[in-house]
Structure 1
Amino acid sequence: MWATAVGVARVRALETERENALFHDPLARAFAAAGGLWPTTPPPPGDDDEAARRRRLAVAFSIVIRTRFLDDLLQQASAAGVRQVVLLGAGMDSRAFRMDWPEGTRLFEVDTAAPLDFKASVLRQERAVARCERIPVAVDLREDWPGALAAAGHDAAAPTVWIAEGLLIYLPEDAVEVLLARIGARSAPGSRMGLTLGSRGVIERFGADAVPGSAASLWVSEMPDDPVGWLAGHGWQAESHTLRERAAAYGRPMRTPPRREERPGGLISAVRR
């Protein structure tokens, strides 16, 4: 599943090359190239028509908007004094290298050994230097990752900003509940959280080929009908944002008209009170 992170890196590399880019990720191209997805990636066999191309572009658009959304959330958390960041399922995330962090920030990248090792090889090749204290934590999220995080130096008594980007859709609903309970247990008051949620309806609408890394078969979780109420039950005061709303705010409005059946927003920001 982690190979999907290379597909996301390719999307971020393409966005970085835009004149009006919503963010700049100088390492994304190196990750995509090392994973064999740069400069181009062939379409799935027998599915290279214009409709398929539009579907892939739509999913890439959603990755761009969610990246900017979570960048903003992290900057707001830093401005509020939060100095611990935990990226769950970090993949090829390069925020430790591309964002400006206040002095004393510690950023934990939690993922399994395979993507972290792949990432480390690219970082060495690029001679990348982190702009904060970056701490990789090699552990499977199905195992005792809170214990591994604590052993790596995470302080549960201090506020943390948690990011789960493109992760929850791949976890069964019971595993999502366990994950949130574990996050809550290590979240001091004032902690922040950024989540991306989704529905299998995206696959049904866009096609499995649109999902980076062809991971559609692993997409098992559904977005709750009431994300704000759901997170309130876990002790978080949350706000739900739609892709369309955020895209318009960033000056990159969606070209397609709203769908009558569009669900609540899948971009979530939350605060621990």
Structure 2
Amino acid sequence: MSTVQPSGVWATAVGVARIRALESARGEAALFRDPLAAAFATAGGLSLSPRTAETPERERSEAEQAAWRRWTGVAFSIVVRTRFLDDLLDAATAAGVRQVVLLGAGMDSRAYRLDWPAKTRLFEVDTAEPLEFKESVLRAERAEPACERITVAVDLRDDWPAALLGAGFDPGAATVWIAEGLLIYLPEEAVAVLLGRVGELSAPGSRMGLTLGGRGVLERFSQDRGTPAAMWVSEMPEDPVGWLAGLGWDAEAFTLRERGAAYGRPFSEPPQRDEGPGGLISAVLRTRDTDARS
């Protein structure tokens, strides 16, 4: 299969697939298994050799060492958030949810690699270019989904709710929504609009899993030009739980360090003084009865 040179924000999804492939290669120590990740990365022209610094640590400048630590942390965050959202989806389906929406799905292969209950429907929402690239890889791999998988080619800046409804989404059914590695690329106003639309489409019993850019992340990565960080535009609010409560969701926030340690994968780098609250969010739609009592 020939390689394709991804561009723009969706190119980052291929980079995420590379990190998932390297994690999957850890064998029994891996926090998850993603058998399709290597195919996505290879088709996007990325090497699957573990990345090493271009120069030995003793020869690196202070700025080079700092950049290396930052991007080591990004790889760690991708691994931990993947496991976190896998667990969230497992919990949602165990609670009876049978409708899943992946917003900005990228190279997500959960439709193929998770153990879905019967009658689960999974919608992948993304623009046409990454979906077409993904389909070409899936065809080459002869991959078969473990649930009903429906792709919805639409830009999240457009009327994606109409496109989702047109693809067969049932607004009367409880849904688990996933926005992984997405919101950091959207301005704050666009994030509010997106989550407002999610709330409008969510039936009682719906759940949501989000990843948010940590406090101070834009400043820490401000010098990383020519990297995905150059496209980051927003970070989490000071009180993400309170923010989501205002949108009708009862949320819990977890830090990457907390979840990494819980998974037996502690992060060795010292915490940033401005890291703030957790950027991994698990939320449940508040019922009308709860609203009435509050």
Normalising to structure 2: TM-score of the pair?
A: 0.87
Give the CA deviation at 1:87: 0.1
Give the CA deviation at 1:15: 0.2
Residues 109, 135 of structure 1: 8 Å contact kept: yes
Give the CA deviation at 1:223: 0.8
Q: Secondary structure at the match of 2:124?
A: strand
CA distance in structure 2 between the aligned counterparts of 1:267 and 1:249, rounded to whole angstroms: 14
Question: Which position in structure 2 is the counterpart of 1:120?
Answer: 135
> Which of 15, 21, 38 is residue 13 of structure 1 equivalent to?
21
Give the CA deviation at 1:222: 2.0
Answering whether residue 184 of structure 2 is matched by residue 176 of structure 1, we say: no
Question: Which position in structure 2 is the counterpart of 1:39?
Answer: 48
CA distance in structure 2 between the aligned counterparts of 1:4 and 1:34, rounded to whole angstroms: 14
Question: Which position in structure 1 is the counterpart of 2:202?
Answer: 187
Aligned length: 271
Give the CA deviation at 1:57: 1.7
Partner deviation per Cα, 1:212-262 (whole Å, 9 max, x = no partner):
x82222111121000000000100000000011101100001112333332
Residues 24, 32 of structure 2: 8 Å contact kept: yes
Question: Which position in structure 2 is the counterpart of 1:88?
Answer: 103
CA distance in structure 1 between the aligned counterparts of 2:135 and 2:262, rounded to whole angstroms: 35
Query: What amino acid is the match of 1:171?
Result: L
CA 116–266 in structure 1, closer or farther in 2 if over 3 Å, else same: same
CA 200–238 in structure 1, closer or farther in 2 if over 3 Å, else same: closer
Return 5+ residue gaps in structure 1 as ranges. Answer: none
CA distance in structure 2 between the aligned counterparts of 1:176 and 1:117, rounded to whole angstroms: 25
Q: Secondary structure at the match of 2:174?
A: coil
CA 223–83 in structure 1, closer or farther in 2 if over 3 Å, else same: same
Matches within 5 A, 1:211-230: 214-230=227-243
Answering whether residue 12 of structure 2 is matched by residue 4 of structure 1, we say: yes
Question: Which position in structure 2 is the counterpart of 1:139?
Answer: 154
CA distance in structure 2 between the aligned counterparts of 1:216 and 1:179, rounded to whole angstroms: 21
CA 159–74 in structure 1, closer or farther in 2 if over 3 Å, else same: same
Residues 216, 275 of structure 2: 8 Å contact kept: no
Q: Secondary structure at the match of 2:184?
A: helix
CA distance in structure 2 between the aligned counterparts of 1:159 and 1:6, rounded to whole angstroms: 30
Q: Identity rate of aligned residues, in percent?
A: 71
> Which of 251, 257, 267 is residue 244 of structure 1 equivalent to?
257
Residues 34, 113 of structure 2: 8 Å contact kept: yes
Q: Secondary structure at the match of 1:36?
A: coil
CA distance in structure 2 between the aligned counterparts of 1:224 and 1:168, rounded to whole angstroms: 12
Query: What amino acid is the match of 2:173?
Result: A
Matches within 5 A, 1:94-109: 94-109=109-124
Give the CA deviation at 1:56: 2.1
Question: Which position in structure 1 is the counterpart of 2:5?
Answer: none
Residues 99, 131 of structure 1: 8 Å contact kept: yes
